[in-house]
Amino acid sequence: MNSSRDTSVELFRHWGLYDRIILGNHMRHQQMALAVTKAAESLNAPCRVLDLGCGDGQLAAMALCNCHCEWWHGVDLSRAALDSAPQLFPGQTTIQFTEGHLTIVTHQLAEQWLVGRSTPPNLLLASYALHHLSESQLQQTLADLACVPQPRAFCWIDLYLSEGESRQDWLHRFHTTALPTWSNLTEAEVSEVIAHMQTSDFPLTESRRVELATQFGFQSHEVLFRDDFYLASLFR
């Protein structure tokens, strides 16, 4: 990450705060889990999942609990989150996790896929992670994900800007309408979330997401979930 966005990991280093955000469904993890389930079922085959920015795997575990999942490979910067991941999945799912920056790890994996040294995933999942990347990092990551042989599905879950909305207007709208509903967080924790968003959150509009995904070979855009702040898109 560039220096302006290095603080993104600090909110998640001690996983308790983000865990309470998930438990409160403030970022629509329950709805997003249903979206991931739909993406997995659309493969009509056992899924092999690469989960970028996986956290402790709760989203994937909720989504895949009734799916035939051969293996799940989670990538995240937070060691505290990854330490919790293996216990969330059913016994028949092979679990692998990597602590590291998703851009670096994805590039390393792409090099292996291209020469056939590892079995590629058929379900690519990025949840609330890509908005932390710079433009160049995002383009590199999408280019590397495009190295996965078809068939593949790419489920991109993230914050998003309304068309024509500036980042500052989005921040103001989020802080004044969404954050006041996060009632299970303390005032200090809300302040921590605000500080994180101001330094590390750089969401795109839906049209820009579609443009970038299409640029790197993903097509058949389908909206799986959308509300005023969160968007789940499925690309193929």
Per-residue pLDDT tens for 155-198? 999 999 999 999 999 999 999 999 999 999 999 999 999 999 99
C-alpha span between 35 and 104 (Å, rounded): 27
Domain count, the chain: 1
CATH number at residue 61: 3.40.50.150
Position 85: which residue type? A
Place of tokens 């593949």: 152
How many CA atoms lie less than 13 Å away from 8 in the CB half-sphere?
22
pLDDT tens digits along 17-46: 888 999 999 999 999 999 999 999 999 999
Domain span holding position 73: 3-235
pLDDT of residue 109: 96
Q: Is the pLDDT of residue 133 over 50?
A: yes
Banded pLDDT at 92 (limits 50, 70, 90) = confident
- Give CA separation, 28 vs 22, 34, 45, 99, 128, in Å: 8, 10, 27, 25, 11
DSSP tag of 6: G
C-alpha span between 226 and 233 (Å, rounded): 9
Burial, 41: exposed, middle or buried (Cβ in 10 Å; 0-12, 13-18, 19+)?
middle
C-alpha span between 181 and 81 (Å, rounded): 25
C-alpha span between 49 and 72 (Å, rounded): 5
Q: Is the pLDDT of residue 14 over 60?
A: no
Q: Is the pTM of this model over 0.85?
A: yes
| Mean pLDDT of the chain, nearest integer | 90
